Amino acid sequence: KAGVTQTPRYLIKTRGQQVTLSCSPISGHRSVSWYQQTPGQGLQFLFEYFSETQRNKGNFPGRFSGRQFSNSRSEMNVSTLELGDSALYLCASSLAGRRKETQYFGPGTRLLVL
């Protein structure tokens, strides 16, 4: 099976712009989670989608949003970018998002905000 793919892999934006990142989960996986990773804050949970519905949400401002399509592919959007949004954004998929399941991570999208 193909692994989790994320596009684009690298992105440079300026403050105030918006960005959309894409994640394609492993075939058959219905849960997609998004994480932000920075040197200072580590891995922070953004949100999780399951069957096109947001099932979990972390403590991020409303500028961070996402959605999931019927084929389980997911996108996350960050509006009005700030310098502090520079990070590695990781998505992970699992069959049903249950606690005992392994999460399979994509390679990440590295976002730089100038």
Total residues interacting with another protein, rule: CB under 8 A? 26
**Encoded tokens for 26:** 């492993």
**At its nearest, how many Å lie between another protein and the CB of residue 92?**
7
Stretch 56-85: interaction string toward another protein, x if CB under 8 A:
xxx---------------------------
Stretch 8-47: interaction string toward another protein, x if CB under 8 A:
-------------------------x-x------xx-x--
Q: What are phi and psi of 72, to 5 degrees?
A: 75, -5
- CA–CA distance, 47 with 71 (Å, rounded to integer): 18
Residue with tokens 């959605």: 67
Task: Specify whether the CB–CB gap between 100 and 45 falls below 8 A.
Answer: no
Closer residue to another protein (CB): 80 or 87: 87
Residue 104: how many CB atoms within 10 A of its CB?
Answer: 16
Give the bridge partners for 48, in sequence order: 33, 56
Using CB under 8 A, list all residues that contact another protein: 4, 33, 35, 42-43, 45, 48, 55-58, 88, 90, 92, 97-100, 102-108, 110
